[in-house]
């Protein structure tokens, strides 16, 4: 089904500098929010702490629950889960008590005193600080290796440069292990490895991989920035959403890249910028239909799926938008940017060679 005719001539490439500016402003706004909030608001999974699920026999509110448990839990975050009539709440706290059974009984007794009999503690889970730190490190490495493998696949799939891709992989793995052995934090290690990844993509002449990785980094940074701006928790569910978005975004990018490569093999005389514009317009119907379908499904889950998957759907909503946007305005224009710089470099090289010969 063609919702949008493939013979459109929208000048997406001509808007690329404005698109870069818009993306930069969004990323900067997210970074400012992160600085003002003191970093991401980590959930119990990453920060460590306790998770308690309680079922009440009558309606109540998070503030009343916090007041009832202030003798046991000095600081807590209370969130309703399930349907409103279920009267079930999740209580998160950074405090860690190793005696889960005694804590469960103590909480149940305090709730009974405040609300009367009939309140049930359904579960009590604890995540120690060491486990939370380990999960944070594994999340960062999951991001990095997913981006690296995507870059390898794209460079092999579209440029048939598997050997160069393998050289990049070996160099990055060695770099990661070296930085980790020096005792640097996982954040610094992954940041250094990502910078090296982009540098190697440039040096090894892997423009498709470069565009795909920058596009994915754009998606991750903008989505995380939105989490910071709206003060959302970063949990395992949000991590799953980000990794899902990476796969969704690269799939959209590959569709556009495949059409660019197909059109380039047909007509070498056409300028590369016009070819990219034509390719994006030809795949626009597929892009809009796919993105709109995913967006409205996630929107329904966000509105009616309950609070348990609320943060997951929140990340997915923004991720679908930015993933579609980056495939059009980031991944493809970066190919043109690379080609223009390479052409300028070759022109300067020819001029310097001609000048040397004339002497």
First to last CA, the chain: 63
pTM for this model (two decimals): 0.79
pLDDT tens per residue across all 359 residues of the chain: 555 665 677 888 888 888 889 988 989 998 898 888 877 777 777 776 777 788 888 888 888 888 887 777 766 777 777 667 778 887 877 655 555 556 667 777 788 888 887 778 777 777 666 666 777 777 778 777 877 788 778 877 777 777 888 888 788 788 878 877 777 777 787 788 888 888 888 888 888 888 888 888 898 889 988 888 888 878 888 888 888 888 888 888 888 888 888 888 877 777 888 888 888 888 888 888 888 888 999 999 888 876 678 888 888 998 899 988 988 888 888 888 888 888 787 777 777 777 767 66
Return d(Cα 296, Cα 299) in angstroms, integer: 5
Annotate 151-162 with DSSP letters as a single string. HHHHHHHHH--H
- List domains and CATH numbers for the chain: 13-42+131-345 (1.20.1640.10), 49-127 (3.30.70.580)
How many whole angstroms separate alpha carbon 214 and alpha carbon 250? 11
In this structure, the strands spanning 233-234 and 41-42 are parallel
């Amino acid at each position: 089904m063609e919702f949008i005719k493939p013979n459109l001539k929208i000048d997406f490439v001509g808007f690329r500098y404005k698109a870069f500016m818009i993306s930069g402003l969004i990323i900067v706004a997210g970074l400012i929010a992160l600085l003002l909030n003191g970093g991401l608001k980590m959930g119990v999974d990453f920060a460590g702490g306790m998770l308690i699920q309680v079922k009440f026999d009558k309606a109540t509110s998070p503030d009343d629950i916090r007041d009832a448990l202030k003798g046991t839990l000095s600081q807590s975050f209370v969130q309703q889960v399930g349907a409103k009539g279920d009267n079930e709440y999740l209580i998160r706290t950074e405090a860690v008590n190793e005696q889960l059974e005694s804590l469960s009984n103590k909480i149940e007794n305090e709730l009974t005193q405040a609300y009367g009999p009939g309140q049930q503690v359904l579960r009590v889970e604890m995540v120690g600080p060491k486990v939370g730190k380990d999960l944070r490190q594994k999340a960062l490495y999951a991001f990095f290796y997913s981006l690296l493998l995507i870059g390898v696949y794209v460079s092999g799939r579209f440029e048939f440069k598997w050997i160069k891709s393998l050289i990049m992989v070996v160099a990055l793995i060695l770099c990661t292990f070296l930085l980790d052995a020096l005792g640097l934090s996982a954040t610094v290690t992954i940041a250094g490895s990502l910078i090296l990844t982009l540098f190697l993509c440039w040096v090894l002449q892997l423009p498709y991989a470069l565009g795909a990785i920058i596009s994915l980094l754009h998606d991750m940074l903008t989505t995380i920035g939105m989490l910071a701006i709206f003060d959302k928790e970063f949990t395992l569910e949000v991590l799953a959403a980000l990794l899902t978005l990476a796969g969704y975004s690269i799939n959209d990018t590959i569709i556009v890249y495949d059409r660019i490569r197909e059109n380039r093999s047909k007509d070498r005389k056409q300028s590369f910028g016009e070819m990219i514009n034509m390719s994006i317009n030809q795949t626009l119907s597929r892009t809009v239909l796919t993105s709109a379908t995913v967006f409205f499904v996630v929107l329904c889950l966000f509105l009616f799926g309950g609070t348990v998957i609320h943060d997951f759907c929140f990340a997915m909503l923004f991720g679908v938008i930015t993933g579609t946007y980056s495939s059009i305005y980031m991944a493809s224009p970066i190919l043109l940017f690379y080609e223009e710089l390479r052409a300028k470099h070759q022109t300067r090289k020819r001029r310097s060679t001609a000048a040397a010969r004339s002497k």
